[in-house]
Amino acid sequence: MNSGMYLERESKWSIAPAAVLPSFDDITDGVQPEVETLELENSYYDTAEHDLLAHGITLRFRRGDEAETGWQAKIPQPNSVTDEETTSARQELHVNADAAAAVPAELADPLWGARLGKPLSLVAIISTHRTRHRYRGTDGKVLFDLDDDSVSATVVGPTATARSWREVEIELGHAAPTVVRAVQQRLRTAGAEPSPDPSKLAHALGYTAASPVHAETRTCRDLGAAVAAQIAAFFHADLQIRRDDDGFAQQLTAVEYLSAAVQLGDHVLETDDHATIVADLAWLRGLLRAVRHQRAQSKLLDEAVATLGDQLVLGPVRARVSSEMAARERDHRTALHQAMQSSRYQNTLTMLSNWSRRSPVNHALTGKVLRKRVNRLARAAEDRLVTALTTPDDSEIRDGYEALLSARYASDMTARLVDKKNRRKMRKSHKNIHEALAAWDLATSTADLLRRLGTRAGTVEGENGFTYGLLYQQQRDTAGRIIEQLATQTARR
> Are both 328 and 423 inside the same structural domain?
yes
Residues 6+ apart with CB under 8 A from 322: none
Last residue of a domain, one of 183, 205, 227: 205
The CATH number given to whatever domain includes residue 175 is 2.40.320.10
> Are both 198 and 227 inside the same structural domain?
no
> Are both 192 and 229 inside the same structural domain?
no
> Are both 280 and 332 inside the same structural domain?
yes
Name the residue range of residue 55's domain: 3-205
> Are both 184 and 248 inside the same structural domain?
no
Q: Are 247 and 390 within 8 A, CB to CB?
A: no
Q: What angle do CA 463, 319, 297 make, to 5 degrees?
A: 110
Tell if the pTM clears 0.85, that is, is over it: yes
SS3 117: coil
> Are both 322 and 394 inside the same structural domain?
yes
> Are both 133 and 61 inside the same structural domain?
yes
| Pairing assessment for the beta strands 58-63 and 34-46 based on DSSP bridges | antiparallel
Query: What CA–CA distance (Å, rounded) separates 362 from 222?
Result: 12
Query: What CA–CA distance (Å, rounded) separates 414 from 322?
Result: 41
Asked if residue 213 is part of any domain, the answer here is no
> Are both 274 and 362 inside the same structural domain?
yes
CB atoms inside a 10 Å sphere around CB 421: 7
The single-letter code of the amino acid at 469 is G
Query: What CA–CA distance (Å, rounded) separates 12 from 199?
Result: 8
> Are both 108 and 234 inside the same structural domain?
no
> Are both 95 and 168 inside the same structural domain?
yes
> Are both 460 and 386 inside the same structural domain?
yes
DSSP state of 65: -
Query: What CA–CA distance (Å, rounded) separates 470 from 343?
Result: 45
> Are both 266 and 394 inside the same structural domain?
yes
Asked if residue 315 is part of any domain, the answer here is yes
CA atoms within 13 A on the CB side of 40: 29
Please choose, from the candidates 109, 10, 128, the residue with its C-alpha nearest in 3D space to the C-alpha of residue 59: 109
**What confidence score (pLDDT) does residue 52 get?**
97
Last residue of a domain, one of 205, 233, 259: 205
Alpha helices in 146-194 (DSSP H): 177-189
**What confidence score (pLDDT) does residue 2 get?**
52
The single-letter code of the amino acid at 13 is W
pLDDT, block means (10 residues), the chain with 493 residues:
68 95 84 92 96 95 84 82 60 80 90 97 97 91 94 90 95 90 93 94 86 73 92 95 90 96 90 90 96 95 92 93 95 97 97 92 91 91 89 88 91 79 64 90 96 91 92 96 88 62
The single-letter code of the amino acid at 269 is L
The CATH number given to whatever domain includes residue 323 is 1.40.20.10
Q: Are 234 and 277 within 8 A, CB to CB?
A: no
Number of domains in the chain: 2
Q: Are 397 and 250 within 8 A, CB to CB?
A: no
The single-letter code of the amino acid at 182 is A
**What confidence score (pLDDT) does residue 5 get?**
64
Query: What CA–CA distance (Å, rounded) separates 466 from 457?
Result: 9
SS3 363: coil
